[in-house]
Copies of this chain bind each other. A is one copy, B any other.
């Protein structure tokens, strides 16, 4: 495994799949979290996931500055998991960051990452068109981001009901 992109729906088992792929490698691992603990629901979810991962993993928070976090982690850890790009996109849009530039920097960080790297994203475009224009814009950008990352990495896996389906 060099670079792996795991996509899937909510609670599809994509994080567990990606984590297992990383843990099959030797060494110490960086878990780059893009989530921010803003409310009790989110804080509880983050804490549960961190406890589940156990001692081989170090957690690095990178809600916005993802490319530089990947570059730094690649010099200190044997493999890296980014979970997830969809929350990162949400953070970028909320902060008003220019997306094209941020996407480009991420792509570059993936291309020049020396360690095995897995990235996770949600597939959010398979439901009814949202009424809310912001949700529509988010959905469009998430699809654009997923296409771009899928084009960059070596391997793409769609996870459904915990089961992997290789797309690339």
Q: B-contacting residues of A (Cβ < 8 Å)? A: 5, 7-13, 41, 123-130, 133, 135, 138-144, 146-147, 149-151, 156, 158, 160-163, 165, 167-168
Contacts and interface: CB of A to CB of B under 8 A. Distances in A.
A47 to B, nearest CB: 16
A41 B130 CA distance: 14
Contact of A163 (B144, B156, B160): B156
Given A7-B160, A127-B128, A144-B11, A167 B165 contact: yes
Contacts of A156: 161, 163
A110 B108 CA distance: 44
Nearest to A168: B163
Q: Among the interface residues A12, A162, A165, which one has the most CB atoms of the partner chain B within 10 A?
A: A162
A129 B141 CA distance: 15
A126 B129 contact: no
5 contacts: A11-B139, A123-B161, A146-B162, A160-B167, A165-B165
Contacts of A163: 150, 156, 167-168
Contacts of A138: 128
A41 B133 contact: yes
Nearest to A10: B125
Contact of A139 (B125, B128, B142): B128
A34 to B, nearest CB: 14
A123 B11 contact: no
A138 B111 CA distance: 38
A82 to B, nearest CB: 15
Contacts of A140: 10-11
A122 to B, nearest CB: 8
